[in-house]
Amino acid sequence: MLQISYIRENKEKVIEALNKRGFKEIGKIEELIALDERKRSLQSESDDIAAQANNAARQIGELMRQGKREEAEAIKLKTSKFKKQIKSFSDQLNKLESDFYSLLVTVPNLPHESVPAGLTAEDNEVVLQHGETPDFKQEALPHWELATKYDIIDFETGTKISGAGFPLYKGKGAKLQRALINFFLDEAAQAGYNEVQPPIVINEASGFGTGQLPDKEGQMYYIGEDDLYLIPTAEVPVTNIYRDTIVSEGSFPIKHCAYTPCFRREAGSYGAHVRGLNRLHQFDKVELVQIVHPDKSYDTLEEMNLYVQSLLQKLGLQYRVLRLCGGDMGFTSALTYDMEVWSAAQQRWLEVSSVSNFESYQSNRLKVRFKGENGKSQLAHTLNGSALALPRIVAAILENFQTEDGVAIPDVLKPYTRFDFID
C-alpha cells in the first residue's frame, strides 16, 4: 500500500509510474489527495473544538474552586455544544477514513525506475539466457506422454479424484517430487534461510497484508464456512509471521524458506498451454521470503535472482531471466524477475520462478516496522521468490533429459531419488 505523504508530495511522479503499469484509473490519485485534504481540514477543525472544550473544562474547574458556581454552570452549557460538534467531526472523519482507505488499497505499487514500460508479456525484457538447447536424435516427447509412458503421473485418476489440474504422482514420479523439495530446502538452508512450516490456510487479514486481497480473491480457493482461504503461495503465511511487529534492525536480513502445497483456481485458463503440468490448481513449491532494511532491498533482489539461477544451473536446465514490464508485474511488486526454463518438446519457455521486491508496499499493509538509529519506527522492505515451483521443473526434466531408454536424473538429484533413471 502506498503512503499518502509520498503521493501528495510526488503526484506527477506517481502518475507517471502508474502509467508505466498501464493503470487505467489514474483519477484515483486526485481523489485520494482530495480526500486526504478534506481529512486534514476536518481534523484541524476538530482539534480546535477539542482545544476549546479542554479550555472550558479548565475554566469550569477553576471557577468551581473559586466558588463561582453560576459562572461555571454557564460555561457548562457551552460544553454540551462542543461535545456534539466533536461527535459530528468524529463521525465524519471515520467515514472519510474508511472511504480513503478503501480507495488507497486499490492502487498498485509503483514500478522501479528500471522496469520497462509495456502492457503484456511481449514487452518484458530478456536480461540473460543460459545453457544450450538439448539435441535429440529422435523427436522429443512432451512430458505428459512421458509421464504416461513410464507410469509416473496419472492425470486421469487425479481428475477422477478431484478434477482437472490435480495430478496423481506415482512411483518414481512421487519420489522425484520429494527429491526436488528436499534438494531445494537443503540448498536454501545452506544459503542461510531459516526453514518454517506454515499453515496452508489463511484468514482475510493475512491475504490483505500481502496484497492477495482484494486483488486476487477470484483466483483463490475460499472455505466459506470458516472464512478462510487456501494459500496461493507460502509467501502469504510466511510474510504474515511479522504482521503488526517491530523487528530489531540488527535482525536484518530476516530470511525464511518454506515448502508448501499451493492452490490456485486459475479461472479462465484453458487450451494447449495448460496441458499436463503446465498449469495446475494444486502444486508444490519451495518459497523464499526476506525482510530487509530499505537500503538493502535491491541488492537483496539481485542476490535472490542469482540464487534461483544457481538452482537451475545445478539441475542442468537451459533458462532465461526476464525483467517484467510494468503491465505484466504483480499488483504489489516494484520490480520482478521471472525465470523460465526451455521446454524441449513444446518448443517454448515455461515460467518456474518469480523473484520480486515489494519495497514497503506489503510492509505498510502488514505494519512490519523497525526502529532506526534515530529511534523512529520505519517500514521494512519485503521480498519473495520461488525456489522453485515444481510442476514445470518436473516437466523440463522429463522433456530435456529424455533418451531412447528413459529419462536421466540430474546428478544433483541422484542422492535424493536414489535412482539414476526413469524407465
Tell me the one-letter amino acid at 221. Y
In a domain, 222, yes or no: yes
Clarify whether residues 315 and 176 are in a common domain: yes
Half-sphere exposure of 186 (CA within 13 A, CB side): 10
In a domain, 285, yes or no: yes
Q: For residue 109, give the 3-state DSSP assignment.
A: coil
Q: For position 272, what pLDDT does the model report?
A: 56
Number of domains in the chain: 2
In a domain, 400, yes or no: yes
Among 43, 74, 104, the domain-final residue is 104
Q: Which residues contact 65 (CB under 8 A, 6 or more apart)?
A: none
Q: Are the CB atoms for 109 and 358 separated by under 8 Å?
A: yes
Clarify whether residues 73 and 151 are in a common domain: no
**Other residues' Cβ atoms within 10 Å of the Cβ of residue 177:** 19
189-228 burial, b at 16+ Cβ within 10 Å, e below that, comes to: eebebeeeebebebeeebbbbbbbbebbeeebeeeeeeeb
Clarify whether residues 87 and 232 are in a common domain: no
Clarify whether residues 410 and 267 are in a common domain: yes
Looking up residue 412, the CATH number of its domain turns out to be 3.30.930.10
Q: Which residues contact 67 (CB under 8 A, 6 or more apart)?
A: none
Measured CA to CA, the distance from residue 352 to residue 396 in angstroms comes to 10
Q: For position 267, what pLDDT does the model report?
A: 61
Looking up residue 61, the CATH number of its domain turns out to be 1.10.287.40
Angle formed by the axes of helices 27-65 and 11-21, to 10°?
A: 140
| Domain carrying residue 324 | 121-422
Q: Which residues contact 361 (CB under 8 A, 6 or more apart)?
A: 1, 2, 109, 211, 332, 333, 334
Q: One digit per residue, pLDDT tens: the chain, 423 residues?
A: 999 999 999 999 999 999 999 999 999 999 999 999 999 999 999 988 888 888 877 887 777 778 777 777 677 777 778 888 888 989 999 999 999 999 999 999 999 999 999 999 999 999 999 998 887 767 899 999 999 999 999 999 999 999 999 999 999 999 999 999 999 999 999 999 999 999 999 999 999 999 999 877 789 999 999 999 999 999 999 999 999 999 999 999 999 999 999 999 986 555 556 799 999 999 999 999 999 999 999 999 999 999 999 999 999 999 999 999 999 999 999 999 999 999 989 999 999 999 999 999 999 999 999 998 788 899 999 999 999 999 999 999 999 999 999 999 999 999 999 999 999
Q: Which residues contact 172 (CB under 8 A, 6 or more apart)?
A: 150, 152, 417, 419, 422
Q: Are the CB atoms for 185 and 259 separated by under 8 Å?
A: yes
Q: For position 271, what pLDDT does the model report?
A: 56
Q: For position 178, what pLDDT does the model report?
A: 98
List 343's β-bridge partners, or say none.
Answer: 348
**Other residues' Cβ atoms within 10 Å of the Cβ of residue 64:** 14
Clarify whether residues 57 and 125 are in a common domain: no
Among 58, 75, 104, the domain-final residue is 104
Clarify whether residues 172 and 255 are in a common domain: yes
In a domain, 109, yes or no: no
Clarify whether residues 376 and 403 are in a common domain: yes
What's the first-to-final CA gap in the chain, in angstroms?
51
Question: What is the number of residues in the chain?
Answer: 423
Clarify whether residues 269 and 146 are in a common domain: yes
Clarify whether residues 322 and 351 are in a common domain: yes
Q: Which residues contact 49 (CB under 8 A, 6 or more apart)?
A: 82, 85, 86, 89
Strands (E), 264-366: 282-292, 319-323, 335-343, 348-357
In a domain, 241, yes or no: yes
In a domain, 125, yes or no: yes
Measured CA to CA, the distance from residue 330 to residue 347 in angstroms comes to 26
Tell me the one-letter amino acid at 4. I
Among 35, 70, 104, the domain-final residue is 104
List 261's β-bridge partners, or say none.
Answer: 284
In a domain, 110, yes or no: no
Clarify whether residues 70 and 165 are in a common domain: no
Clarify whether residues 74 and 136 are in a common domain: no
Clarify whether residues 219 and 266 are in a common domain: yes
In a domain, 172, yes or no: yes
CA distance readout (Å), 166 to 146, 157, 163, 198, 275: 18, 9, 6, 22, 12
